Amino acid sequence: MKNDECRVVIHYFGGRLVKGYTFDFSEDRDMFHLFASEEQVDGIEVFLHELKAVFFVKRLDGNPNYCCPDVCETDVKKMPGMKLKVCFADGECIYATTRGYSPARKGFFILPLDPHDNNSCIYVLKTATTSIEVVR
C-alpha cells in the first residue's frame, strides 16, 4: 500500500469514528492494526466484524467546506464500470462504482463518484448493510 493510501477513518457499528494509519489492511484477514501517526510503533488491533466500513482518505482532517453533490441513480448509470447503491443499517446510502462485487464475500471496495471527495476508496463490510443493489 502506498503511503498516501494508508490514511483511514474507521467507522464502527454504533457510529464511533477513529482516524489514523494502517499498514497491514487486507480484506482477506479478520484484523488489522491502526496507528495514531505514521511514526507510532504500537498500534491497536481493529477487528472487521466490529466495523461498518473502512474509509481510505486523502486527508485525515477532511475538508469541512466540501459539499457532496446530489447524486441520483440517473447520474450513476452514466458512469463506467459496475455501479452499486449501498445502504447501511444506520440509514446512510452511497452510490459508487466497484471493480468487483460478489455477494459471497464478507466485504468489498467501492470508489466514490466525485473525484473531489476526500475518500479514495471505501471498504464496506457486508454485515453493516441493509441492501446492495446493482444499478443498471
pLDDT at 10 (0 to 100): 97
Into how many domains does the chain fold? Answer: 1
Q: Which residues pair with 82 in a beta bridge?
A: 98
Report which of 42, 45, 128 is spatially closest to residue 89, judged by C-alpha positions.
Answer: 128
Report which of residues 3 and 97 the model is more confident about. Answer: 97
Question: What pLDDT is attached to residue 1?
Answer: 43
Domain range for 50: 3-61+68-135
Q: Kindly report the pTM of this predicted structure.
A: 0.88
* Each residue's pLDDT tens digit, 64-121: 777 666 665 556 667 778 889 999 999 999 889 998 888 899 999 999 888 788 999 9
Under a CB-based contact definition with an 8 Å cutoff, are residues 110 and 96 in contact?
A: yes
